[in-house]
Amino acid sequence: MPDYGHDLLFGTFVTPSVSPAHHAVDLAVTADRAGLDLVTFQDHPYQPRFHDTWTLLSYVASRTERIHLSGNVLSLPLRQPAVLARSAASLDLLSGGRVELGLGAGAFWDAIDAMGGRRLSPAQAVAALEEAIAIMRQLWAADRPGGVHVKGDYYTADGAKRGPAPAHDIGIWVGAYKPRMLALTGRAADGWLPSLPYLPGGPSDLADLNARIDEAATSAGRSPSDVRRLLNLNGRFSDTSTSLLNGPPDQWAEELAGLTLEHGITGFVLATDDEYATELFASEVAPATRELVAAERRG
C-alpha cells in the first residue's frame, strides 16, 4: 500500500576514516559535485579509526555547496542533547539549511561506558532518546515564549534559553528496528533510517515495520507521511545482474523504484567509499529511479 509521496533523495554513507584525514571529505565533495542529495557518516566516538562525526560533518559542510548532511546515526549517549541541538542549528545556519539529524539511541554500550558515557538498557535508551528529541525541538522553536523545560528521567532542561532557530526544519531521522523504537519514530521523528542489510527478510520486512510506524504516527495524531522513510543500502555495480542491487544501474533503478512504490522508501543511502560508484549512483541510478517513480505516480 504505502507510497507516502515524498520526493526522492539519493545519498551516500561514507566511512569516516581518520586516516587519511581527508578521505571522507573528498568522497563527500565527489557526492556533492555529482549532484547527490545527501552524504552521511556513522558515529562511533569510541572508535579511534574514525573521525568525530560532528566535527567531520561541520568540516564537510564548509567544503560542499548543495548536498545535505547527516549523521547515520549520531550516538546520542555520548552527545549532550541541548548542545547537540544548538550545534545542529548552528551548522544549519552556516550551511544554508543543509543539516539533518540522524539519531540513534545508542549501541555498543561497553564502549560507551568505557568512554565515561551512561549505560542504559534498550528500554531506557529509547526513553532517553524521546526526552532528547523533546529538548531539541523546544530549543529550536526560538519564537515560542519561555525557556526549554523538559523534566525527564535521563535528560533535563530547566529554563535553557531557546534558539538559535535553524535555517530550515531540520529532520530528525531515527534508526529503528524494534517495536519500541518504531513507535517512537512514528510518534516523534521526521524520518526513519534503517539499513537494508540488517533486515533479516530483506525488503519484504519493510511492510511490517512501516505499518508499526504508521500506527504510532496515527495514534499520536500525526499522518504517516510525516515520517519520511529512508534506507541504507549496500550494493555493487556490475555488468550482469546477479541479485538485489548487484547488477547494472538500470537494474538498480527498477529495484529502487519498486522500494518506493511498494514500501514508500524515498531516501536511498548507498554505503560506498568508491568515487566511481558514487558518480554512477548520481548520474544513472538517481535520474532513472526518479523517472520510473514519477511515471508510476502519474498513474
Q: Which residues of the shown chain bind another protein in the complex (CB under 8 A)?
A: 18-23, 25, 45-52, 54-56, 58-63, 78-83, 86-87, 89-91, 93-94, 111, 113-117, 135, 142, 147-148, 155-164
Contacts of 212 (CB under 8 A, 6+ apart): 179, 182, 183, 186
* Smallest separation (angstroms) from another protein to the CB of 22: 7
**For another protein, the closer CB: 124 or 225:** 124
* Smallest separation (angstroms) from another protein to the CB of 29: 11
**For another protein, the closer CB: 89 or 103:** 89
* Smallest separation (angstroms) from another protein to the CB of 126: 18
Residue whose entry in the numeric block shows the C-alpha cell 555498543: 108
Question: Of 215, 243, 237, 241, which is closest to residue 285 (Cα–Cα)?
Answer: 237
* Smallest separation (angstroms) from another protein to the CB of 257: 31
Write down how long the chain is: 299
H or E element, residue 13: strand 9-14
Distance of alpha carbon 2 from alpha carbon 14, whole angstroms? 29
Asked whether the beta carbons of 94 and 170 are under 8 A apart, the reply is no
**For another protein, the closer CB: 2 or 117:** 117
State the alpha helices, DSSP H only, in 69-228. 81-95, 109-114, 122-140, 179-188, 205-219
**For another protein, the closer CB: 131 or 255:** 131
* Smallest separation (angstroms) from another protein to the CB of 21: 4
Give the three-state DSSP class for 286: helix
**For another protein, the closer CB: 114 or 220:** 114
* Smallest separation (angstroms) from another protein to the CB of 285: 22
**For another protein, the closer CB: 164 or 248:** 164
Contacts of 221 (CB under 8 A, 6+ apart): none
Burial bucket for residue 53 (CB in 10 Å: 0-12, 13-18, 19+): buried
Give the three-state DSSP class for 33: helix
